[in-house]
Structure 1
Amino acid sequence: MTVLAGPRIVTPDGVLADGHLRVDGATIESVCPARPAGEVQPVDGAWIVPGFVDIHTHGGGGYTFTTGDPEQAQGVARFHLAHGTTTLLASLVTSPPDLMVAATRAYAPLVDQGIIAGLHFEGPYLSHARCGAQNPAHLREPSTDELARLIGTGAGAVRMVTIAPELPGALEAIAYLVDHGVVVAIGHTDATYEQTLAGIAAGATVGTHVFNGMRPPHHREPGPVFALLGSDSVTCELIGDGVHLHDGALRFATTVTGASRAALITDAMAGAGMPDGEYELGGQGVTVSGGVARLTDGGSIAGSTLTMDVAFRRAVAAGLPVEEVARMAATTPAAAIGRTDIGALQPGRRADLVVLDAELRVLRVMRAGTWVA
C-alpha cells in the first residue's frame, strides 16, 4: 500500500487541498480530503492530476507510429510517458491497405501488453479537399470489406477510425464500425452541417482535431465545426498548441462543449521533443522549423511537436481552470474511447497520475501504481 499526501489533488469532484490518495498495487483504493494518520509518502510539487490520455498521436522523440514498426511504437510510448501521458492510441495516417494490415498485426501485441491502448486510423477515408498532410495518393472511399479485414487482424486492437461522412458508403461504414465496437471520429471532411449530423446519427462520437482539416464555419453554412461542437454526443478533439488553434478559439470551443466534451490531443509527429529539421510522416517529407511541422512540399501543417504537458500548461494559460484542463487531458478522452478504468483519480481506477510543480511542469509520473524512472 502506498499513501501519497501533500499538494492539491484534482478529482472528478473538485480539488482536494492537503488530502491523500491510497494506491493498492496498480489501483487507486481511496482519495480522501484529510491527511491520514501514520506513514505517508509526501509528494513534492503543487498538484497531483490524473495521467494524461492522448487519443491522437503519430509519434514523438524521433519515433513514429506510421511505419508499423513495433520498436518505433514502443519508443513513442516511452517518450510521451515521460511527459505524463500514461495512455495513448497509436494514430496511423492514410496508407496502402497492406501497410494498414501489417501495422495492425504488429501493434496488436503491444495493445495486449498495455503499451498502447489501441490503434487509430486517421484515414484513408478522407476528403481530397481537406486531406491536409494526408497522402492523397492513398485516399479511398470507405470499404466495409477492408474494415472487416483490419478488425479481424487486430482482434480488438482497432479502437478508432476517422471518416469524412460525405463520402459514398461513409454512413454504412460508420454504422459497421460502431456495431463492431470501434469508435468513429469525423474529420478531414468537406461535409455540410447536414452531412455531419448524418454521420453523428449513424454513430460517430468524436470530432478529429476540430477546426483543422475541415470546412471552415460560416454563419450561413456552419459546416462540420458547428455540428460537432453543438452535438451533445460528440467529444471534440482540440490541439492546444497555439498553431492549430488560437488560444481564443480553444477557450471558445470549450465554453460550448464544456470540459466533459473537450479532449486535448497532441497530434504529435516524430519531431515532437526533437530539434528542428527534416522528418517523415506517412511517406511524405516534413520540415520542422521553430517547432512547427509542415509538409516540405506544399507547406500544409503536418501534425505537431506538442506534448500533453505543454498542452496542459497552454490551456491553463488561455484561462481555463486546472481542474477543467485535467478533465480535458485525461477523463474526457478516456471516456471517448470507452476506458472507464483510467483517466481520473478515483477509487477503482488504475493508479495513473502526474505530479506537477507550481508552473505545471512534470515532476513525477506514476503508471499502474509504479513510479516511472
Structure 2
Amino acid sequence: MTNAVSTMLRGRVVTVDTVVEDGVVVVEGDRISWVGPAGSASGQIPPHTGSTILPGLVDVHCHGGAGASFPDSGSGDLMTAVRHHRSRGTTTMLASLVSAPADRLIAQTSLLADLYHGGDIAGVHVEGPFLSLARCGAQDPNSLRAGDPGLLREILDAGRGAVKSMTLAPEIDGFVRIGDALREHGVLPSIGHTDADALTTRRGVEALGEGPISATHLFNGMPTWHHRAPGPVSECLAAAAKGRIVLELIGDGVHLADETVRAVFDLVGGERIALVSDAMAAAGMRDGRYRLGPLEVTVRGSVARLSLEGDDGGTDQDANPIAGGTSTVLDLVRRAVVNAGVPLAEAVRAGSSTPASLIGVGHEVGRLAPGFFADILVVDSAFEPEQVIRRGERTQREAASWRS
C-alpha cells in the first residue's frame, strides 16, 4: 500500500549541476513538473524546512540487504533487499549476482527477471563468472571459467531482457567474443576482477568498441597501481578522463580511503563516477555470519570478509578478503561530502544521474528535472532520510520507519 505525497516540496534542492539553496520541486502524478528557486514558484508554497532534496539514488552494483541476498535468496525474500535500499533513498537499482555454478546463475537470473518485469528493479548485474582467478576476491574460484558464449546465452535467455550489466576480466580467453555478445544484446560490459597489465586493459577497452563501459569497483579486485606496473587502474582512470568509461567506487572508508575517493573526483569528476554499495545481505543487519553466493562471510564491525577454513571469528579474520559492503548509496554520498570533501552536487551526480545514464535510464531517472519520474529523496542535515518518494508515491513501510 502506498500514500500519495505532497505535490510541492521545498528545501535545498540539488540539481544535476548546482545547488539551489531555497528551491521547490513540484510533483504531478508520477512525474516532476517544475523545479526552481522558491521565489519563482507559483501558487502557495510550503515553508522552508531546512531539508535537502535530492534525486532518488541509483545503485548499479548491489548484492542484497536486510538479510536477503540476490545470489542466494528465494523469490519470496528478494524484495526484502530492494525495500531496504529503497527506504534509504535508492529508488533505482540493479540486483547483482556473483560467480556460481551455471545452473545456479541461470536460476537466480530467472527469479530476478520477475522483479525486473514487475518494475521493482532496473535489471540484473552479473558479476562473473568470466573473471581472473588471481583476483577473484570474494568470488568462488571453483565457479570461474573462460569466456563461454553458450553460458552467456543461457543467462541472457533466463533474464528475458533483464540482464543489463556483466563484469568480466580483459585477460580471459574468449573476452572479445563475450564482449561482442554483450554489445549485441545491449548489455553493459564492466571491466573488473582482473589481473591484467595496462596494455591488456587498454586493448580490452578498445575491443569493446563504441558504447558505455564501466570499471567494476575501481582499485578493488585488481592490482595496486604501481609506477612501474600501472595495471588496469591507470588505464581506467585515463579512459574515464577521456569520457570513455565510468568508474565504480565503493567509497565506504573500508574498500577505499576517503583521500582516494577525493582524488578520483578531482581527476575525472562526478560525471564519470558511479558510487556503488556492493552491498550484501548484511547491509542493515547485525554483525554475524552470512552468505554471498557459494561462500560464507563473517561481518564484524559492519565489515564483511570471507570466512576461510579454520577461522574462529577472532583477529585473524581481519586479514581475509573483503566480501562486499554493508552501506547504501546514501551512506556513500554522505561520506563523499563529509569525509572526502567532495562538492555536494558532484557527489549526488555520482550517486544518481551518472549511474542512471550508464545503464540507459538517464532520460527518466536520476535528476530533479521536469518530465523525469518523481523519484525524490529528502534528507535532514545529517543526510538521514525524511522522505523517499518513488514514482510520486511513498510506501507505508517507509513512512512508518520515519516516524519511529
Calculate the TM-score normalised by the size of structure 1: 0.96
Q: Deviations over 1:112-153 (max 9, x none)?
A: 111111110101011000000100010011111111122122
Q: Which residue of 2 aligns with 1:359?
A: 382
Q: Which runs of 5+ in 1 are unaligned?
A: none
Alignment partner of 2:178 out of 165, 173, 176: 173
Contact 1:45 1:356 survives alignment (8 Å): no
How much identity, in percent, do the aligned residues show? 44
* Corresponding letter in the other structure for 1:151: L
User: Is 2:252 aligned against 1:241?
Assistant: yes
Q: Which residue of 1 aligns with 2:120?
A: 115
Alignment partner of 1:307 out of 319, 324, 328: 328
In structure 1, the residue corresponding to 2:135 is in which secondary structure? coil
Structure-2 change in CA distance of 1:42 and 1:66 (3 Å):
farther
Contact 2:17 2:346 survives alignment (8 Å): no
Aligned runs of 1:45-56 on 2, under 5 Å?
Answer: 45-56=50-61
Structure-2 change in CA distance of 1:182 and 1:68 (3 Å):
farther
Which has the higher mean CA deviation after the structures are superposed, 126-135 or 196-205? 196-205
In structure 1, the residue corresponding to 2:154 is in which secondary structure? helix
Q: Deviations over 1:75-111 (max 9, x none)?
A: 1100101111001111000011111111121111210
Structure-2 change in CA distance of 1:42 and 1:159 (3 Å):
farther
Shift of 1:4: 2.1
Contact 2:52 2:381 survives alignment (8 Å): yes
Alignment partner of 1:187 out of 192, 197, 200: 192
Alignment partner of 1:331 out of 350, 353, 371: 353
Contact 1:2 1:24 survives alignment (8 Å): no
Alignment partner of 1:71 out of 76, 79, 83: 76
Q: Which residue of 2 aligns with 1:280?
A: 291
Aligned runs of 1:142-181 on 2, under 5 Å?
Answer: 142-181=147-186
Q: Which residue of 2 aligns with 1:371?
A: 394
Q: Which runs of 5+ in 2 are unaligned?
A: 310-319, 399-404
Which has the higher mean CA deviation after the structures are superposed, 304-313 or 326-335? 304-313
Q: Which residue of 2 aligns with 1:96?
A: 101
* Corresponding letter in the other structure for 1:196: T
Query: Take 2:106 and 2:9, find their aligned partners in 1: how far apart are those partners?
Result: 46
Q: Which residue of 1 aligns with 2:337?
A: 316
Q: Which residue of 2 aligns with 1:32?
A: 36
Which has the higher mean CA deviation after the structures are superposed, 212-221 or 180-189? 212-221
Query: Take 2:361 and 2:74, find their aligned partners in 1: how far apart are those partners?
Result: 25
* Corresponding letter in the other structure for 2:385: V
Q: Deviations over 1:328-351 (max 9, x none)?
A: 111111111111210111111111
User: Is 2:234 aligned against 1:226?
Assistant: yes
In structure 1, the residue corresponding to 2:286 is in which secondary structure? coil
Alignment partner of 2:270 out of 245, 249, 259: 259
In structure 2, the residue corresponding to 1:250 is in which secondary structure? helix
Shift of 1:19: 2.1
Query: Take 1:68 and 1:37, find their aligned partners in 2: how far apart are those partners?
Result: 48
Aligned residue pairs total: 373
Which has the higher mean CA deviation after the structures are superposed, 324-333 or 22-31? 22-31
Contact 1:28 1:345 survives alignment (8 Å): yes
Contact 2:23 2:35 survives alignment (8 Å): yes
Alignment partner of 1:205 out of 209, 213, 218: 213
Query: Take 1:14 and 1:301, find their aligned partners in 2: how far apart are those partners?
Result: 35
Query: Take 1:196 and 1:214, find their aligned partners in 2: how far apart are those partners?
Result: 11
Contact 1:293 1:301 survives alignment (8 Å): yes
Which has the higher mean CA deviation after the structures are superposed, 145-154 or 348-357? 145-154
Shift of 1:70: 2.1
Aligned runs of 1:286-301 on 2, under 5 Å?
Answer: 286-297=297-308, 299-301=320-322
Shift of 1:230: 1.2
User: Is 2:25 aligned against 1:21?
Assistant: yes
Calculate the TM-score normalised by the size of structure 2: 0.89
* Corresponding letter in the other structure for 1:313: R
Query: Take 2:50 and 2:72, find their aligned partners in 1: how far apart are those partners?
Result: 38
Contact 1:230 1:256 survives alignment (8 Å): no
Shift of 1:71: 2.2
Shift of 1:57: 0.7
* Corresponding letter in the other structure for 1:64: S
* Corresponding letter in the other structure for 1:360: F
Shift of 1:45: 4.1
In structure 2, the residue corresponding to 1:176 is in which secondary structure? helix
Query: Take 1:13 and 1:129, find their aligned partners in 2: how far apart are those partners?
Result: 40
In structure 2, the residue corresponding to 1:324 is in which secondary structure? helix
In structure 1, the residue corresponding to 2:351 is in which secondary structure? helix
Contact 1:126 1:139 survives alignment (8 Å): yes
Query: Take 1:88 and 1:269, find their aligned partners in 2: how far apart are those partners?
Result: 14
Alignment partner of 1:270 out of 262, 281, 289: 281
